[in-house]
Structure 1
Amino acid sequence: MAKKSGGGGCLAVVLVVGLLAFGYYKWQHGSSSAPPEGVDTGGGSGRYVALGDSYTSSPRTGRQAGTPAGCDRSDDNYPHLVSAKLKPAQFADVSCSGATTDHLSQAQKTGNGTNPPQLDAVTAETTLVTLGIGGNDIGLIAFASSCATTHQNSAPCRDRLTAGGHDQLAERIDATAPKVGALLDRIHEKASKAKVVVVGYPTVLPDGNGCWPSLPFGAGDIEYFRGTLGKLNKMLEDQADAHRAGYADTATPGKGHDVCSASDTRWVEGLLPASPAIPLHPNARGEQGMADAVLAVLKLP
């Protein structure tokens, strides 16, 4: 049963929004230190290349790995966990916070350095590629601060984004689909022998009305964004099926581990992270869950 809102709830919303804005600024402007890291040699066989955005790079969950520092890669993200299991001869994690599909073929400027086109890391010798992309093309995280509300039963973002009968985020998902398909085709062209796995996004929002004011989104917006993330994952799965790639479903095992779940079980942090992570992104537990989903596709324990 929802609790009656009061002044305390409104104050919590104001504090959350202010801290989220500060955290988002720090994330966008990157870290000031970055130990150099190129391609890791694990001593086994094959070459594994990880491509993706911040759900792949996993900002602030572990020690920073690789350059540029502005990509905010952590050494406990799912690519590193998969690599530790596979032990390939070569491993390149070129994922980067803020990446869109364009940054697979174009350089990406960050607040602290420039990331080369991610596809540059895919070579003819590559035997495995994981791809986690699309969320920034849709703009899901970018709406986080603007959707916070002091009215628990409202839906300001849904109302704005579906005004006039046009669902802007659904249209962006449709527009992103052929870009993902083209990327998969390009990966196959560059690495014809590689196994390619598209990695979906984990469950971020719970079933039901959410957990206002801890997550200060109205019930209607919770439903809207939950449905939008489902549409995004369905698009990614469809593109994987159509372009000879596997699909790692992280949403199904992530159910019950959303931002409103207990802090010791959640995979994705809320606006005020209780574990090392940035807002509305996976923590180390979530990255392990995503790694397990990839390994399941590869039929490895």
Structure 2
Amino acid sequence: MRVPRLLAFSAGTAAVLAGTLLTAGTAEAAGERYVALGDSYSAGVGAGSYDSASGSCSRSTKAYPQLWANANAPASFSFVACSGATTDTVTSGQLGALTSSTTLASITVGGNDAGFASVMQTCVLSSDASCLTAVNNAKTYAQNTLPGKLNTLYATMRSKAPSAKFVVLGYPHLYYMNSGICVGLSSTKRSALNSAADALDTTISAAASRASFTYSDVRPIFNTHELCSGDDWLNSVTIPIGNSYHPTALGQSSGYLPGFKKGLTAALNG
């Protein structure tokens, strides 16, 4: 009879411990004062269900910051990410949400600085050669000019919220390159666009490290879910055109939300 009692005790103890850990985790999240900064990838452009009060910023109720806030009920939540945002417009228009009481902030930014919307337009409408030129120009900007802008932005963010944990998320590859059939852009263009995402993410990751922010790479999470994968988490060219090449609602919930959680876990353990 001792063995069943031991098992019962162990099971009961495990249940109590699990409940304690769950309660502790919930309490910790409930104490967070969370600010979501950044561009369209953080605002949730492409996911639909936009908050009309956000106007042209197109903040979605299906964006990863809102999904995390819904699930964790932080003490406060300020969602100020905006479609089209650059490092400069984040600085001028979003950082007012950060205060000395902010405990957590997330951001995606840099793609618009490097002109990726224009690059995508060139690659969709023009030749391989024109696409490669546009991509190379964007990569040069990402490697040579963007680092300084990110350094300045991240330093300002830290000065406004000195006690906060900062999670910086990168950008996914747009195309799955192992697909035999991919209607639309040539393999040359698709490969070039993926290399541009790599250059951008490398710069963002390095800048985050210099600022002692936590960087979360979403490329592994989106792997096999890029365009032409057959299980796409990204919009192709679509109407409205602004949704094109942005995460779908599934890309936010299954791609960016886990990416944010991964970054937050790393930040808490760092």
TM-score normalised over the length of structure 1: 0.72
The answer to whether the Cα contact below 8 Å between 1:47 and 1:127 also exists between their aligned partners in 2 is yes
Q: Does 1:279 align with 2:244?
A: yes
Offset from partner CA, 1:201-238 (integer Å, 9 cap, x none): 122122258855x3x22222212111111010111111
Question: 1:65 Cα deviation (Å)?
Answer: 2.4
Match of residue 110 from structure 1: none
Match of residue 202 from structure 1: 172
Match of residue 170 from structure 1: 139
Classify 1:73/1:87 alpha carbon distance in 2 versus 1 (closer, same or farther; 3 Å). Answer: same
Tell me whether 55-64 or 227-236 shows the greater mean CA deviation: 55-64
Q: Does 1:242 align with 2:210?
A: yes
Classify 1:66/1:83 alpha carbon distance in 2 versus 1 (closer, same or farther; 3 Å). Answer: farther
Match of residue 60 from structure 2: 74
Question: 1:58 Cα deviation (Å)?
Answer: 1.3
Q: Where in structure 2 are the equivalents of 1:15-30 lying within 5 Å? A: none
CA RMSD of aligned residues (A): 2.4
Offset from partner CA, 1:26-57 (integer Å, 9 cap, x none): xxxxxxxxxxxxxxxxx932310011111111
- Pick one of 100, 103, 107 that aligns with 2:89: 103
Q: Where in structure 2 are the equivalents of 1:144-159 lying within 5 Å? A: 144-148=120-124, 154-158=128-132
Identical amino acids, percent of aligned pairs = 29
Question: 1:103 Cα deviation (Å)?
Answer: 0.5
Q: Does 1:233 align with 2:201?
A: yes
Match of residue 163 from structure 2: 193
Q: Does 1:267 align with 2:233?
A: yes
Offset from partner CA, 1:170-216 (integer Å, 9 cap, x none): 2210201111121111111111110001011122122258855x3x2
Counterpart AA for 1:170? K
Q: Where in structure 2 are the equivalents of 1:121-140 lying within 5 Å? A: 121-140=97-116
Question: 1:298 Cα deviation (Å)?
Answer: 1.8
Counterpart AA for 2:264? L
Matched residue SS, 2:60? coil
Q: Determine the C-alpha separation between the residues in 2 that align with 1:187 and 1:54.
A: 19
Question: 1:59 Cα deviation (Å)?
Answer: 2.2
Query: Structure 1: which 5+ runs fail to align?
Result: 1-42, 107-116
Match of residue 57 from structure 1: 43
Q: Does 1:298 align with 2:264?
A: yes
Counterpart AA for 1:161? A
Q: Determine the C-alpha separation between the residues in 1 that align with 2:262 and 2:45.
A: 24
Counterpart AA for 1:59? V
Q: How many residues align?
A: 235
Counterpart AA for 1:231? A
Answer with 1 or 2: which has the greater Rg. Answer: 2
Question: 1:66 Cα deviation (Å)?
Answer: 6.2
Question: 1:141 Cα deviation (Å)?
Answer: 2.2
Matched residue SS, 1:268? coil
Matched residue SS, 2:112? helix
Matched residue SS, 1:241? helix
The answer to whether the Cα contact below 8 Å between 2:119 and 2:134 also exists between their aligned partners in 1 is no
Match of residue 88 from structure 1: 74
Divergent runs of 4+, >6 A: none
Q: Determine the C-alpha separation between the residues in 2 that align with 1:67 and 1:124.
A: 26
Counterpart AA for 1:244? S
Counterpart AA for 2:58? D
Match of residue 6 from structure 1: none
Q: Determine the C-alpha separation between the residues in 2 that align with 1:246 and 1:85.
A: 22
Matched residue SS, 2:236? coil
The answer to whether the Cα contact below 8 Å between 1:198 and 1:246 also exists between their aligned partners in 2 is yes
Match of residue 226 from structure 2: 258
Matched residue SS, 2:53? coil
